[in-house]
Structure 1
Amino acid sequence: MELEDGRTTGRPRTDPRSLPTGPDLEGVGPVAPVTEQRTVVLDLEAAVAHVADAALRPDPVGPVGLELEAHLVDLDAPASRVPWQRIRDLVDALPALPGGSRVTLEPGGQVELSGPPCTDVAAAVAALRADRDVLAAALAAERLAVAPVGADPLRPPARVCPAPRYAAMEEHFAAVGCAEAGTAMMAGTAALQVNLDAGPCAGWSERVALAHQLGPTLVAVAACSPLAAGRPTGWVSHRQRVWSDLDQARCGPLLGGADPAGEWAAYALAAPVMLVRDPDGGAAPVGERVSFAEWVTGEVPLGGRVPSAADLDYHLTTLFPPVRPRGYLEIRYLDAAPEPWWPALAAVTTVLLDDPVAAGHAAAATLPVATAWDRAARAGLADPALHAAARACLAAACAAVPAALRPEVEALADLVDRGRCPGDALLGTARAGGPTAALLSATGAPR
């Protein structure tokens, strides 16, 4: 998922039935007033400890949670965004899904399936596929469909969700000079997120570092957003380009040091405050760059008060590094992609981190391109070094992937061998029939 108010689903070691349902998950419903949250006043030392202590939990590797976003399309009017109330009415009428996913919504009307934690990636994919089929049938009855691609190939980004949180976020992005990228991120992109347990404490540094190091290579492999707002962008992953155009103090990668929990705490305290919640549960945008550390020390007062632990927890939900520690690891850098690519991408990402042999091969292969985020987003597998790293990673993954997902991963390996990515088909359709045809083809819906 790209955005949330901190109460996510689809994560390891959590029973999703214990989490709030409906629009609160995505910040589009009522938010509990600050007075109902923890109001413990913080000093700087306590703030650092608060973030570091919650960053990672020692759990065995294995469980997997998946979240898949997609652009909602009216099959009879694909150039128009679906009105918010129509989306809400449809989602509210959905039955419980067989795989346990929750259906939530993003600011541009994107629909997200957030699956519960499963024992392994094959089970997670099977559950999400079952839920996707139920959702697709419900949408089809209303002449709607979803297009799981990294960026909307046809419609300019536009927020349809009226939630105050997202209006305030737009104001903040405009105030700090990245209004266009902020709106595009919220309303024009879609991702596949893979959530994995942190593993034993002794391996945290290596595991978090590898999750970041894999990023550029997997961005190139997953690239499925060569079009945006009706035209080719010149980038294979426009979605990743959008994230790189945002404030890197909020969206840039961690450095992969020896103490990832401490590094996350330092990152969070240095990041600028985006929103300050008021006693009624609203959120006021911060129109200047004020780090949370400056707020907590009183150097720059915000909202006429000092921050509490609840304010710090809320601040953490506005930070979007490509790998985010949430007790577990959120892998956030993959474009959404249609079948069979998203199951293959989920499987590859998981085995390259969880299987020791595959992880060793991936670490060696990706080291030369560990920081090539922009090259990956622009050129993808046309970059020789990224192509070499990707081929090695796919070979390692094919040897370790669960049998149930081997056909999908082998198909992805073949695609990578040919120097191609999931977005190439989308671009080819657009060249033959225009961006409307590209968007409709991504839905897989009969027309």
Structure 2
Amino acid sequence: MSNPGDVDDTPIRSTEQLAAHLAEGAKPRGEWRIGTEHEKFGFRLPGSAHGSAFAPPPYAPNGIEALLEGFAADRDGWEPIRDNGALIGLKGQGPNKGGSLSLEPAGQFELSGGPLRSLHETKAELDAHVAALHPVAAGLGLGFAPLGFHPAATRAEMPFMPKSRYGIMRRYMPKVGSLGLDMMLRTCTVQVNLDYGSEADMARKLRVSLALQPIATALFANSPFEEGRPNGLLSTRARVWTDTDNARSGMPPLFFQPDFGFGLYVDWVLDVPMYFVSRDGKLIDVAGASFRDWMAGRNPALAGIRPTVGDFDDHLTTVFTDVRLKRFLEMRGADAGSVPMMVAQSAFWTGLLYDDAALAAADALVHEQPWESYAALRAAVPAQGLDAPFGNGVARDLAARVVALAADGLRARALEDAEGRDERSYLDPLLPIVNGAPNQAQHWLERFHDAWNGDVSRIFLEAAI
């Protein structure tokens, strides 16, 4: 969940205005960019003077706040973001412009990368972030591991960050699902943000990517442990999302309608329950209220406060569908993982969605099955992964076809690095998996039962970046 950006104070006059606002996000192909975001769990290194080995660090002292302060010491690269005086993020400046560093509710540390032209730049950005993280984290006795679900800590053992919106969500989540607090405190994801060229292009990209999110979940599954033991799942993070807050999550059937567009999306979003309204640097808790009612003047708690386009943009950040539409598209179905796997996730979606032929082929492929088949697959892959039944076979069959299409799309982009390699090389970690090799979760399960002798804490150092 990224840090706040600039606020648009334009008063809202109509739903058509909001649809037009989303339409303004469309860009010509030459301006399409790739933005990769990833989260990771902090842990105390063995021998740290500040806490027990592998424990999650607090905000303060000698924790997440100090980590942000370490990055902020580079005053030419980062500008502090504060919430009621607490340092809760950094906005990129100079060489980091367009990116940000932020905190998830339990201190999961997030890089929201800048909009980049190629996957070669994505890989370089991630490498530079890891290189910058190491000395700052080491000085605090911290390591960081990108995993989809915390493998050891209970919910009660996770710290809580001083970010106002998280306090509101913490109070509201237990009212609408049994696993919302686990989503907040014990999950990490990687996502890629991609552009669209028109309303029709948005609708096709959203339909294809939403249908195929379960395939991404299975390919990138990286969370088979809970509170120190295997729990029978490959992606515990994905299971958490099935009972977090289904009024704002999942794969809404509306998105698969032939006439889906910005107008229908806005009409749906206005009935997604709100969390908060921001005014004068403070958040007003309106959790569960209707944005539509606020626009119509039917919310007494917001009497005299007129909704703005900036409020609508804030509300969009509280929509948690597997693909989220803002003024770009966010792919949200994958567990955080190793750097090669995180780049592979960006490559997977870039190859499918940024080449016309690959996208057309993926759209035709998706239409081979009804929407309900993909919804059923979403429910099955947290436990069964690529072995989940699908059509006349299993999800692995679909995954192999989709990865091949992504490779075709990246070949057509023909963007080479200094050594003359195109972007297809970033899909290499996926090729053994679609051919039957273990995914990340299955690799860790093998390690747990063999080399680790049942000690899940071994994952932290082995998974650390």
Match in the other structure for 1:51: 18
Paired residues of 2:39 and 2:111 also in contact (CA < 8 A): yes
1:336–1:342 Cα contact (<8 Å) kept = yes
Question: Of 11, 24, 34, which aligns to 1:64?
Answer: 34
Alignment CA distance shift 1:124-1:265 (3 Å): same
Distance in 1 (CA, whole Å) between partners of 2:432 and 2:365 is: 18
Tell me: CA distance 1:37–1:199, structure 2 relative to 1, closer, same or farther (3 Å). closer
Cα deviation, residue 38, structure 1: 2.9
1:381 and 2:386 correspond: yes
SS at match of 2:332: strand
Task: Tell me the amino acid that sits aligned with residue 15 of structure 2.
Answer: V
Contact (CA 8 Å) 1:269, 1:292: kept in 2 or not? yes
- For residues 332-368 of structure 1, the C-alpha deviation after alignment (integer angstroms, 9 at most, x for no partner) is 2221111321111110111111122322333344443
Give the 3-state SS of the residue equivalent to 2:285 in structure 1: strand
Question: What is the CA distance between 1:261 and its match in structure 2?
Answer: 1.0
C-alpha displacement at 1:300, in angstroms? Answer: 4.6
Q: Secondary structure at the match of 1:430?
A: helix
Name 1:356's counterpart in structure 2. 356
Separation of aligned partners in 2, 1:292 and 1:213: 28
Q: Which runs of 5+ in 2 are unaligned?
A: 47-51, 79-94, 416-420
Counterpart-to-counterpart distance in 2, 1:364 and 1:419: 28
- Per-residue deviation, 1:411: 2.9
Matches of 1:231 and 1:361, distance apart in 2: 41
Using the alignment, how far apart are the partners of 2:96 and 2:208 within structure 1? 30
Distance 1:299 1:285 in 2: 13
**Structure 2 counterpart of 1:415, from 426, 433, 437:** 433
Alpha carbons of 1:132 and 1:272: their partners in 2 closer, same or farther (altered >3 Å)? same
- The whole-number CA distance in structure 2 between the counterparts of 1:130 and 1:118 is 14
Structure with the largest fraction of strand = 2
- Secondary structure of the 2:270 match is helix
User: Residue 9 of structure 2 aligns to a residue in which SS?
Assistant: coil
Q: CA RMSD in A?
A: 2.5
For 1:313 and 1:406, locate their aligned partners in 2 and report how far apart those are by CA, in whole Å.
Answer: 34
Report percent identity of matched pairs: 27
In 2, the alpha carbon distance for the partners of 1:295 and 1:103 equals 32
Partners in 2 of 1:332 and 1:115 — Cα distance? 15
Match of 2:44 among 74, 88, 91: 74
User: 2:290 matched to which residue of 1?
Assistant: 291
**Deviating more after overlay: 367-376 vs 434-443:** 367-376
The 3-state SS of whatever aligns with 1:67 is strand
**TM-score normalised to structure 2 length:** 0.80
Is the aligned partner of 1:84 residue 2:44?
no
Return the offset for 1:234: 2.2
Following TM superposition, by how much is the alpha carbon of 1:270 offset from its aligned partner in structure 2, in angstroms? 1.0
Tell me the residue number matched to 1:323. 323
Shift in alpha-carbon separation, 1:405–1:140, aligned structure 2, 3 A: farther
Equivalent residue of 2:111, what SS?
Answer: strand
TM superposition shift of 1:390: 0.4
Corresponding residue for 2:86?
none
Question: Is the counterpart of residue 431 in structure 1 residue 398 in structure 2?
Answer: no
Secondary structure of the residue aligned to 1:81 is coil
Q: Is the 8 A contact 2:192 2:345 kept in 1?
A: no
TM-score, normalised relative to structure 1: 0.83
Name the amino acid aligned to 1:216. Answer: P
Partner of 1:270: 271
Write out aligned runs for 1:4-403 (5 A): 4=2, 6-7=4-5, 38=9, 40=11, 42=12, 46-56=13-23, 57-61=25-29, 62-76=32-46, 77-85=52-60, 86-94=63-71, 95=74, 96=77, 101-157=99-155, 158-174=158-174, 176-178=175-177, 180-254=178-252, 255-257=255-257, 258-277=259-278, 281-286=282-287, 289-305=288-304, 307-309=306-308, 310-367=310-367, 368=369, 369-371=373-375, 372-385=377-390, 386-401=395-410, 403=421
CA distance in 2, matches of 1:182, 1:268: 20
1:336 and 1:215 mapped to 2: Cα distance?
A: 14
CA deviation after TM superposition for structure 1 residue 263, in Å:
2.3
- Match of 2:438, SS state, is coil
Aligned residues, how many? 407
Aligned-pair CA distance for 1:330: 1.4
Following the alignment from structure 2 to structure 1, what is the Cα–Cα distance between the partners of residues 279 and 26? 35
> Which blocks of at least 5 consecutive residues in structure 1 are unaligned?
8-18, 20-35
Measured in 2, the distance between the counterparts of 1:315 and 1:253 equals: 18
> Compared with structure 1, are the counterparts of its residues 81 and 200 closer, same or farther at alpha carbon in structure 2 (3 Å cutoff)?
same
Deviation at 1:37, TM superposition (A): 7.2
Give yes or no for contact 2:205–2:359 (8 Å, CA) kept in 1. Answer: no
Counterpart CA distance in 2 for 1:141 and 1:277 is: 36
CA distance in 1 between partners of 2:42 and 2:363 (Å): 37
The alpha carbon displacement at 1:303 in A equals 4.1
CA distance in 2 between partners of 1:111 and 1:117 (Å)? 19
- What displacement does 1:384 show? 4.2
1:406 is paired with a residue whose SS is helix
What do the CA deviations read for 1:229-281 (whole angstroms, capped 9, x no partner)?
32323222211221221222212334233232112201211111222446661
